[in-house]
Structure 1
Amino acid sequence: MVKKLNEEKLTLGICYYPEHWPEDMWEDDYRRMKELGITYVRMGEFAWSIFEPEEGKFSFDLFDRAVAKAGEFGLKVIMGTPTATPPTWLTKKYPDSLNVTQDGIPYQHGARRHYNYNSENYRRLSSIIVKKMAEHYHDHPDVVGWQIDNELNCETDVFYSEADHDAFREWAKKKYHTLENLNAAWGAVFWNQTYTSWDQVYLTRKTVPNSPNPHHALDEKRFFSDSAISYAKLQADILREYAPKQWVTTNGMFGHLDNHKLTDDLLDFYAYDSYPNFGRIIEDHSVKPLRDRKWSWNLSVVRSISPNFAIFEQQSGPGGWVTRIEQPSPKPGQLRLWTYQSIAHGADMIMYFRWRTATKGTEIYWHGINDYHNQPNRRVKEVEAVSQELHKLGQIAGSSYQAEIAYVTNYDNEWDAEFDKWVGPYEAKSKDAWFKALQYNHVPVDAFHLNAETSLEDLKSYKVLVYPHAAIITKEQAELFNSYVKQGGKMIFGCRSGYKDETGQPYMKAFPGYLADLVGVNVEEFTREAPFEETPGVKFKNLQEVEANDFNEVLQLKEDVEVLGTFTNAHFEGKPALVKRNYGQGSSYYFGGVFNLDLASLLIDEFELNDYQDLFDLPEQVELSIRHKEGTDYVFLLNYSEVPQEVTFKKEFTDLITGRPVTNKHTLKPFDVIVLA
């Protein structure tokens, strides 16, 4: 069952912290929220000591008044369970609740997310506060839903407390049953790591050299994910029991967490926190950087979890902690642009973070739509303009994003590649290249999550699948890909594909393992690009030459394989680098290298994907997204440039924001958006 947000219209919300502000400010805040067209207010997620100032003593007075006052203005409240920030009394009395570094050093009180998921005391105390809150607010007419915790696995996504080691030991027993099975899965015979007693089994610990067993490390990440999901389930089960009429979700998307399983098993829909101007995005110095537009990939991944989702934190100002300068202030139009970026990719509820910039604590520079002084500013006016526009676009809610191509993701490969430098960096580069190529060629793309339940019907939703460097591919997955291509699909692979089993151990098979029949090649030899040598090239169809960076595989051909590209400028010059094999009604492609923007762009032309050139002439700086509902396409054109961009329309559209017809040439202002039907 697909878990998705079910909003009747596009809605806006705000993150608000009544405990931070004098109570005599609340009414004016809520009044202005209502005037801005705000529907939802999120609160409570960092307020455990307000709800439970001492162990076993509970107080709901402050939030009762805050919720009631919000209700007076017709605002709907989303209540957060406050477990991301345990109270001082808790961590002092129960130090076993604290997370611990791999070196064995406990985290201390003073920030947030310093707890561990497996402490029996922390789980017990979390259950109590969540139950008390659910009992108290379960029938409150103004509380419509719950956010579990806040940003699971943010700040840290590794956990090494004694409780975690104990829980991992039990997890391993349940998975492997015997030490013989565990030793085989971890290849423990290597370097004499064989376990002879269960009490010898721990999470990875510091080693000399600091390079723990890679198969052990892969299982560790699976365990971290299962621990977070177990902790979320603890809360979700209580909320389902005591507040069955209110929906349940959580927010964020962070490492070592299977968000698809989390949502499928526990939540009503998924919610994301969107910060497109985050420092490491805007500091991208690669070829043709996407910068804030790159956030569209994150939103595509979120869409693979919930086709219609919520944004629980939408960037609305400059951002950073006192110790971190993360984000410059949005330029005029960017806040509106980012809101529509979220909507274009499937968001039907967008909540801005935050109502007013905090005057205390670590986030005094993480700005909201209002500044400290509470005077009118450009950001508030921009939100007001967006709100007025969304009243005209409400019918878009529930529509589905349209894409004929998907980039395949998989947690096992993601987690294995974190540790494996022979494949991990290549995956990041190829994903960046393909997403850029599709964005700049105006071809909408989905992220597609591959797991054990994936069926042929799931894959058949797409004409093309791109899965460049999946080291772990099981026999069953290879058979599924064979069936997909045989019925007419096209599938693209790259170097370092298919040579590992699900433990992360290489098969004793010629590369690319179980994919060999589908792609029609074996790998004859391979090498990384030497930093002191000139970069090899690939001549595509004997015409255009592109670079073959990072890693090169020389391909040995089987029958019925077409060579699309050969290596140049290397000792393996003239050898096959890129091949195509027709297989049933479809075709597979294998590139013995790492994809770059040039090569991905050339291959897109091979696939006959809809780039909507019959409808538009679009400059590279404009993103195209299409959502569909009941026979109507809703077209989003988003200008990420700070200079105007000219668009040519080849048929007449209606601008849904102004209601006017649009035809011929149209100029998008800097950071402008137009929504068409």
Structure 2
Amino acid sequence: MRFGCAWYPEHWPRQRWAEDLRLMRDCGMNTVRIGEFAWSRMEPVDGRFALDWLGEAIDLAASFGIDSVLCTPSATPPAWLTSAHPEVLAVRADGRPEVHGMRCHYRPGSPLYRWFCKRINSALAERFGQHPAVLGWQIDNEHWQRSHDPDTLARFAEWCRARYGSLDALNDAWSASYWSQEYSDWSQLHAPPGSPNPGLRLAWHRFSTALTAEFQAGQVQTLRERIAQRQWITHNFHPHDDLDRAGLVDGLDFASWDAYAVDGPSFDPAQLAVEVERIRSLTPSRKVWIMETQPGSVNWKGTSNPTMQPGELRAAAWHMAAHGAEAVLYWQWRSAPGGQEQYHGTVVAQDGHPRPHYTEIARIGEEFKRLTTLLDQSAPVHPVAVIDRWADRFAIKHQRHHHQFDPAAHVRSWYAAVQRQGLSADLVERLGDQRPWSVVIAPQVHLADQPTIDRLRAFVIGGGHLLIGPRSCFKDDENALLAQRQPGPLSDLAGAQADDFYALETPVPLGGELGEGTASIFAERIGQVEREVAVWARYGQGHGWLAGQPAIIHRPTGKGSLTWCACWPDQELQRRLIARISRLAGIESSLIPPDGVTIVHRRGESGSFRVFINHTAQPQQVELGAVATERLSGTTASNLVLAPWDVAVVG
């Protein structure tokens, strides 16, 4: 288990480095990430490399038992480059060029910029590609770059020509006759305007993903040709969701994640689990590193940047580790005296002395070190999968129909319901045949591409139990409406179709075999159902078009079943629905945790164990049902007592 931080030795005099590294070692850190924003120090003048300082930092860290992750510095081109060649800077959607002093502000499609990146990366790889203390490499930083310059727009036209083959096919796919949007020449294509055609918007972001992947592939190739086979290559993805991360992992050994509490002062346990599991699923290795996470607070929220409470850092770190993170690294060790992120949380303060949460970080480091073998030789075990595809999130995000229909929150609500049932789940971009899931939850397979439909049908017919949500199979893969009502090509398996769909101004009651509950935000009215369909819930009074109509239906199909939840129900009803489907699949949760407590099952060479985490500010008790050993404390008990934000490793 790797534990550490982002360290920027270029910010500090050399005589300070040893003290920083001592403090890192003393709080259990064994890894630093360095070099990602240091191009101006690595190459202070065009073509003249200065890498001795970096070598000294890596060697000194190694003397303290700390290994390094080295980064390619392409996120921050130096001033000599951007001033001599301003054409490498991105152009914003309004036509204004980016200016020096930012990050990730380059044109990913620029051949000239790629040449400069290859040159600096070659120098780095030739110097450090065989270094015994360099574990691996991070490419760039948090891909999100897009540019609206003329060369990029010409590349977009080329990409569209390759994808669609002809303008007739493109116009047809985008329904371009609407508002006279039809194109008669490839040169007429443009980036999406303020209120774009849905097909154009999706195509532009798919193209932007492909262009960034091409940019990254060049850097990967430069490194592969020069570094030791044992050194790996990754990229640290961020909550920016405008690029398809699944399209950006080719050539990487694994994907990494920058985990931040985006929506509040604390980490939401479902959000954190979804993010780690999503990134873990992107590569065949199923590895994931947390390359950045906040030590206390951030500085970039619009209204307030509250600090996490005592214990929350530990709960978050263990939650990520339980879900498969093989490393947790804090951003950052210490703030630079100047720069744009002076107020961001750090491990030590601006005077170089530890902040109050240093002792908590040291506790995490000690626990990770003590249980490293257990963690390294085990992996999460999930009987359930949740399908969560970028294209579905992207399409719904830009056409919500109700301002509160956040597609990412919709997926999280279902994952939270899985957690409330005492289970955990894999997050997958697509359904393969290599994993032994018996239950698959597809909250919003919105764009019905044929390979996905074929996999879902095969899963059900072969004995799997599939749960689909509202807005399922509403459009085709080009973001155009299907000529069939929801759930489109899955209607025969469901035994019904939707009559219509509604944005809900107020919650609507639900009732039936699953008990009472409510639906909010969005609901579909299920029409006439076939004879073998069981209605598990109906809408109550409160919405004239929905009253008395089926809301949740279930149909055995082949060797499996399909359940259609045509609304967004409350958390408890979601949990009861998942419990019922799990029982049909033979999945029995032996333990339903109290609200706010999560359980992750792991299995490895030394057997199985469970990680319990209390994500609340109140003490919690969990009845284990039998006497078991808690590995962090070494005690045995049948009743687990968890303090606020506490962690227990049982088994």
For the aligned pair, the TM-score class normalised by the smaller chain equals over 0.9
Q: Give the structure-2-normalised TM-score.
A: 0.93
Q: Distance in 2 between matches of 1:75 and 1:548?
A: 51
Check 1:324–1:500 CA distance in 2 against 1; reply closer, same or farther (3 A cut). Answer: closer
Is contact 2:461–2:557 with CA below 8 Å preserved after alignment? yes
C-alpha displacement at 1:631, in angstroms?
Answer: 5.8
C-alpha displacement at 1:85, in angstroms?
Answer: 0.9
C-alpha displacement at 1:398, in angstroms?
Answer: 4.1
Question: Which SS does the other structure have where 2:477 is aligned?
Answer: coil
- 1:174 partner amino acid: A
C-alpha displacement at 1:332, in angstroms?
Answer: 1.9
Q: Give the structure-1-normalised TM-score.
A: 0.90
Question: Which SS does the other structure have where 1:202 is aligned?
Answer: coil
Q: Distance in 2 between matches of 1:611 and 1:659?
A: 30
Deviation string 1:554-598 (CA, Å, 9 cap, x unpaired) is 322134211122222133422222211110121111133233323
Check 1:258–1:89 CA distance in 2 against 1; reply closer, same or farther (3 A cut). Answer: same
Is contact 2:499–2:524 with CA below 8 Å preserved after alignment? no
Check 1:487–1:505 CA distance in 2 against 1; reply closer, same or farther (3 A cut). Answer: same
Deviation string 1:331-388 (CA, Å, 9 cap, x unpaired) is 2222222211111110122222222233221111112211112234432222222222
Deviation string 1:101-139 (CA, Å, 9 cap, x unpaired) is 222122211221211211222112111111121112122
Question: Which SS does the other structure have where 2:264 is aligned?
Answer: helix
Q: Identify the match of residue 251 of structure 2 among 251, 266, 273.
A: 266
Please tell me whether residue 295 in structure 1 is matched to residue 257 in structure 2.
no
Alignment partner, residue 250 of structure 1: 235
Q: Distance in 2 between matches of 1:106 and 1:315?
A: 31
Please tell me whether residue 436 in structure 1 is matched to residue 436 in structure 2.
no
Residues 484-523 of structure 1: pairs in structure 2 closer than 5 A: 484-523=459-498
Alignment partner, residue 574 of structure 2: 600
Q: Distance in 1 between matches of 2:428 and 2:109?
A: 31
Runs of 4+ in structure 1 deviating by more than 6 angstroms, as ranges, are none
Check 1:326–1:237 CA distance in 2 against 1; reply closer, same or farther (3 A cut). Answer: farther
Alignment partner, residue 6 of structure 1: none
Please tell me whether residue 404 in structure 1 is matched to residue 377 in structure 2.
no
Q: Distance in 1 between matches of 2:237 and 2:514?
A: 46
Is contact 1:348–1:398 with CA below 8 Å preserved after alignment? no
Check 1:260–1:386 CA distance in 2 against 1; reply closer, same or farther (3 A cut). Answer: same
Question: Which SS does the other structure have where 2:237 is aligned?
Answer: coil
Deviation string 1:601-625 (CA, Å, 9 cap, x unpaired) is 22022123588763x5632121111
Please tell me whether residue 546 in structure 1 is matched to residue 546 in structure 2.
no
Is contact 1:467–1:494 with CA below 8 Å preserved after alignment? yes
Alignment partner, residue 170 of structure 1: 158
Deviation string 1:128-165 (CA, Å, 9 cap, x unpaired) is 11112111212223222111111111xxx543222321
C-alpha displacement at 1:56, in angstroms?
Answer: 1.6
- 1:243 partner amino acid: I
Q: Distance in 2 between matches of 1:466 and 1:292?
A: 18
Residues 143-154 of structure 1: pairs in structure 2 closer than 5 A: 143-153=134-144
Q: Distance in 1 between matches of 2:395 and 2:592?
A: 41
Q: Distance in 2 between matches of 1:147 and 1:476?
A: 32
Alignment partner, residue 391 of structure 1: 369
Q: Select between 535-544 and 393-402 the one with higher mean Cα deviation.
A: 535-544
Question: Which SS does the other structure have where 1:557 is aligned?
Answer: coil
Is contact 1:417–1:423 with CA below 8 Å preserved after alignment? no
Q: Distance in 2 between matches of 1:29 and 1:542?
A: 57
Q: Distance in 1 between matches of 2:629 and 2:256?
A: 31
Q: Distance in 2 between matches of 1:57 and 1:163?
A: 29
Check 1:241–1:184 CA distance in 2 against 1; reply closer, same or farther (3 A cut). Answer: same
Q: CA RMSD in A?
A: 2.3
Q: Distance in 2 between matches of 1:429 and 1:389?
A: 32
Residues 273-672 of structure 1: pairs in structure 2 closer than 5 A: 273-276=258-261, 278=262, 280-282=263-265, 291=268, 294-306=271-283, 307-321=286-300, 327-395=305-373, 396-422=375-401, 425=405, 427-450=407-430, 454-455=431-432, 457-458=433-434, 461-529=436-504, 531=505, 535-541=507-513, 543-569=515-541, 570-572=543-545, 573-608=547-582, 614=590, 616=591, 618-630=593-605, 632-660=607-635, 662-672=636-646
Question: Which SS does the other structure have where 2:225 is aligned?
Answer: helix
Check 1:310–1:364 CA distance in 2 against 1; reply closer, same or farther (3 A cut). Answer: same
Is contact 1:430–1:596 with CA below 8 Å preserved after alignment? no
Q: Distance in 1 between matches of 2:325 and 2:302?
A: 28
Check 1:551–1:510 CA distance in 2 against 1; reply closer, same or farther (3 A cut). Answer: closer
Q: Distance in 2 between matches of 1:33 and 1:369?
A: 9
Is contact 1:311–1:350 with CA below 8 Å preserved after alignment? yes
Q: Which runs of 5+ in 2 are unaligned?
A: none
Deviation string 1:395-423 (CA, Å, 9 cap, x unpaired) is 22142211122211122212222322248
Check 1:510–1:347 CA distance in 2 against 1; reply closer, same or farther (3 A cut). Answer: closer
Q: Identify the match of residue 214 of structure 2 among 230, 250, 273.
A: 230
- 2:475 partner amino acid: K
Question: Which SS does the other structure have where 2:308 is aligned?
Answer: coil
Check 1:79–1:53 CA distance in 2 against 1; reply closer, same or farther (3 A cut). Answer: same
Check 1:505–1:227 CA distance in 2 against 1; reply closer, same or farther (3 A cut). Answer: same
Q: Distance in 2 between matches of 1:273 and 1:673?
A: 22
- 2:391 partner amino acid: D
Percent identity over paired residues: 29
Please tell me whether residue 76 in structure 1 is matched to residue 67 in structure 2.
yes
Q: Distance in 2 between matches of 1:676 and 1:109?
A: 52
Check 1:421–1:40 CA distance in 2 against 1; reply closer, same or farther (3 A cut). Answer: same
C-alpha displacement at 1:520, in angstroms?
Answer: 0.8
Check 1:404–1:422 CA distance in 2 against 1; reply closer, same or farther (3 A cut). Answer: same
